[in-house]
Amino acid sequence: MHAKRERRTAYAMLLPLLFVLLSLIAYPLYSSISLSLTDHRVGSTSTKFIGLQNYAELIQWSLFHDALVNSLLYVVFALTLKTILGLTLAMVIESLGKPKFIFRALILLPWVLPDAISALSWRWIFDPSYSVLNWILNRFGIESISWLGDVGWARFAIITVNIWRGVPFFALIFSAGLVTIPNELYEAADVDGARGYTKFLKITIPHMIPPFNTLLLFSMTRTVAEFNIVRVLTGGGPFNKTHLLGTLAYHIGLSGAQLGKGAAVSLFLFPVLLIATIFSIRSILKERGF
């Protein structure tokens, strides 16, 4: 009797959440898939089922190839550099004495601020005519670079801004991991006469692995699904060469009004998401006691 009542309460309290999950996540995902099998256009009244035609067209489309390659480059470079720089920054901060808190708070700012707005400042930093970076380069006798006008440099700029936003977060997670390493381990290693890099490899790195695994999966899903930075910084240009899946989906789905095809583009994010979920789910749920 009691258990039955408790069950009823439990379900009742879950109802609003269930409604949100179904109407804002599950149904849209389903709708995205069915939309991708049609030639639906914004504002059109007649929509035809066309099977996998959208996908077939995408696979042969060079803009789509570029977006896939960009996504791969973006994820690989951004994650690698965020890891290296994040760990370095964490170790620097942990090696300082007292003012740790204020530095932690300061470095976290790029992550806290709205990224579409801070990307605007970056766009000005990379401005074609008045880039402050070019001003500095010129001082050293180096010619100006067309940061956002050249495909290679534009990719570089996008990755730089992603790193700028993400490094603080990586550093904080690593920092939390570093604090948990018992000092005795390093002291014992000192007694054995271990060198700095040996201690780093044998003590620091192994302790960083567990938080790093989760961090990597999370960051991968967010990085591959990036929209704001690319949209504000390059808008996908020059010549639509810096699109990621998200901005390309926007470009053809909304700007180009081909909603069905746009849905097909964004669905290519799904496998990445699925992999991340599958790999992180076990440890995460266990951590929360389920």
Partner 1 sequence: MGYKFRKRVRGRIVSYILLFAFLLFLLFPIYWMIITSLKQNKELYNFEMNPLLVTQGITLRHYSYLFERTNFMVWMRNSIIICLTVIVFTIVVSSLAAYSLSRLRFKGRWTMALAVFAAYLVPPTLLFIPLYRIVVLLDLPDTILGLIVTYPSFTVPFSTWLLIGYFRNIPSSLEESALVDGATRLQVLWRIVLPVALPGVATVTIFSFTLSWAQFLFPSAFISSSIKKPLAVGVVSELIRGDIFHWGSLMAGASLGIIPVLLIYVFFSRFFIRGIMAGSLKG
Subset of 57-116 contacting partner 1 (CB under 8 A): 82, 85, 88-89, 92-93, 95-96, 103-110, 112-116
Phi and psi of 212, rounded to 5°?
A: -65, -40
Minimum distance of partner 1 from residue 50's CB (angstroms): 16
Task: With residue 124 as reference, give the H or E element that holds it.
Answer: helix 115-125
Q: How far is CA 230 from CA 6, 157, 161, 222, 261, in A?
A: 49, 9, 9, 13, 20
Minimum distance of partner 1 from residue 92's CB (angstroms): 5
Residue with tokens 């879950």: 14
Q: Which of 206, 170, 163, 165 is nearest to 76 (CA)?
A: 163
Number of amino acids touching partner 1 (CB under 8 A): 100
209 binds partner 1 per the rule CB under 8 A: no
- Using CA atoms, how far apart are residues 38 and 53, in angstroms rounded to an integer? 8
Among 75, 215, 234, 251, binds partner 1 (CB under 8 A): 215
Minimum distance of partner 1 from residue 215's CB (angstroms): 7
**Residues between 125 and 184 that touch partner 1 (CB under 8 A):** 125, 127, 129-130, 132, 135, 164, 166-170, 172-173, 176
Minimum distance of partner 1 from residue 39's CB (angstroms): 14
Helices (H), 180-269: 183-191, 196-199, 205-224, 228-233, 245-250, 259-267
Give 29 or 201: the residue with its C-beta nearer to partner 1.
Answer: 29
288 binds partner 1 per the rule CB under 8 A: yes
Give 168 or 241: the residue with its C-beta nearer to partner 1.
Answer: 168
Q: Which stretch binds partner 1 (CB under 8 A): 56-64, 146-154, 197-205, 241-249?
A: 241-249
Q: How far is CA 10 from CA 5, 157, 287, in A?
A: 9, 49, 22
- Using CA atoms, how far apart are residues 220 and 78, in angstroms rounded to an integer? 9
x/- mask, partner 1, residues 6-45, rule CB under 8 A, reads xx-xxx-xx-xxx-xx-xxx-xxx-xx--x----------
- Using CA atoms, how far apart are residues 49 and 40, in angstroms rounded to an integer? 9
**Residues between 246 and 275 that touch partner 1 (CB under 8 A):** 246, 249-250, 253-254, 259, 262-263, 266-267, 269-270, 273
Minimum distance of partner 1 from residue 85's CB (angstroms): 8
